Amino acid sequence: MTMKGLIMRAPKTMGIEEIEMPVMKDSDILVKVKAVGICTWEQKAYQKTKYPFFGGHEIAGVVEKIGADVKTDVKVGDTVAIASIIRCGECYYCRTNQDNLCLYGEDNAADGEAWGPAGFADYVLAKGYQVYKLNNDMDYALGTVSEPIACVLRSVEKGNLDFGDICVVQGAGIMGLLHVKLAKLRGATVIVSEPDENRRNKAVDAGADFAVNPFETDLKEFVFSKTGNVGAKAVFFTAGGAKAVEQAFTLIIQGGTIVLYGSLNPDVPISLSPNMIHYSETILTGAAKHTRKSFQEATQLLANGSIDVSDLISERIPFKEYEFAFERAMSLDTYRVVFTMD
């Protein structure tokens, strides 16, 4: 049997191809894909990666078949989200509750074969630990946001926020807005730093208490005016480049935490004072990917209605209109563009 899959063969060159259905083992769950988000990772891969590339990792669908050896609480017909990143379960990091850093979690396709999470397709195979139940009446497009929520949950948890704390979120793209929503769930006051007026307004609509243009307002002065002149408890970097990372050190309270959620592209050095970190006990850390725990928490937040992400779905575009979908996904006036597979 065959199915349709979207394969990238070269920079800005892709097409829907007729490919073989994945061969199911007794340890697998077969999921019919209903919606897939076009993440920044796939957008970057569209322009440069190792080809051929088979993307799509923000996946929501319906369980079609469950292998005989799978131990799971999901049933055929259930609506689910897929945590498509592989975990070996046996390396040091998997054994110490840091499975997002799994040593063997990368795709190992042979040269010339398509690699990637393979969610841009009619069907996808997953292991039991990768399949998380959602409400059966959930909008599939909302279910695709499980994966980014799970990633941002780790970031907010690493920010060490307590009720009543004040934090800064640098950047108001979709990941910045998810930081806003989750920090608010933690009881924090949130200041967003974002040059674009439309995105600042969107941040306020998403729950931010303040949204500031760092090129027009002295951000340090603003933050200190709102924090009793001590600084923010946490700063979450999601966008803004090296200068924004350096600026984060001027905004933080002594003993506070700076979380580098976003990456720098290009990857360039930043200037910082080791003595400042030493004397102020500032914590500088990163947040990469999601863990099994954070993915479970993300699907629970969605299922019980604790977080609303409907405002982050900018457009739903049929799978066959893939070129237009990628064009819209890479536009600055969208947050998350989602393929609808039906």
User: What's the rounded Cα separation, in Å, for the pair 5 and 3?
Assistant: 7
Are 12 and 139 part of one and the same domain? yes
Whether the full predicted model's pTM is greater than 0.75, yes or no, is yes
Instruction: Give the CATH number, domain containing residue 84.
Output: 3.90.180.10
For the chain, the domain total comes to 2
- pLDDT of residue 262 exceeding 90: yes
Are 93 and 202 part of one and the same domain? no
- pLDDT of residue 85 exceeding 90: no
| pLDDT, tens only, 154-180 | 999 999 999 999 999 999 999 999 999
Q: What residues pair up with 141 in beta bridges, in sequence order?
A: none
Are 133 and 166 part of one and the same domain? no
Secondary structure element (H or E) that encloses residue 302, with its range: helix 292-303
Are 123 and 189 part of one and the same domain? no
Residue among 234, 54, 244, 83 nearest 148 (CA) = 83
Q: What is the mean pLDDT of the chain?
A: 96
Arithmetic mean of pLDDT, 230-251? 97
Question: Does any domain span residue 56?
Answer: yes
pLDDT at residue number 106: 72
Are 187 and 242 part of one and the same domain? yes
Arithmetic mean of pLDDT, 213-224? 98
Are 8 and 137 part of one and the same domain? yes
Are 138 and 239 part of one and the same domain? no
Question: Does any domain span residue 138?
Answer: yes
Contact 204, 172 (CB under 8 A): no
Question: Does any domain span residue 107?
Answer: yes
Question: Does any domain span residue 332?
Answer: yes
Are 172 and 87 part of one and the same domain? no
Are 10 and 117 part of one and the same domain? yes
- pLDDT of residue 342 exceeding 90: no
Arithmetic mean of pLDDT, 175-197? 98
Question: Does any domain span residue 296?
Answer: no
Contact 38, 88 (CB under 8 A): no
String of DSSP letters for 215-248: TTS-HHHHHHHHTTTS-EEEEEE-SSHHHHHHHH
| pLDDT, tens only, 285-337 | 999 999 999 999 999 999 999 999 999 999 999 999 999 999 999 999 999 99
- pLDDT of residue 284 exceeding 70: yes
| pLDDT, tens only, 41-67 | 999 999 999 999 999 999 999 999 999
Are 58 and 157 part of one and the same domain? no
Question: Does any domain span residue 189?
Answer: yes
Place of tokens 């063969």: 9
Instruction: Give the CATH number, domain containing residue 171.
Output: 3.40.50.720
Residue among 203, 209, 218 nearest 188 (CA) = 209
Question: Does any domain span residue 39?
Answer: yes
- pLDDT of residue 112 exceeding 80: no
Domain extent at residue 180: 152-286
Question: Does any domain span residue 293?
Answer: no
Arithmetic mean of pLDDT, 235-263? 97
pLDDT > 70 in the chain, percent? 99
| pLDDT, tens only, 121-151 | 999 999 999 999 999 999 999 999 999 999 9
pLDDT at residue number 108: 65
Are 163 and 190 part of one and the same domain? yes
Are 117 and 210 part of one and the same domain? no
pLDDT at residue number 110: 66
pLDDT at residue number 109: 67
pLDDT > 90 in the chain, percent? 94
Decide the pairing of beta strands 166-170 and 232-237: parallel
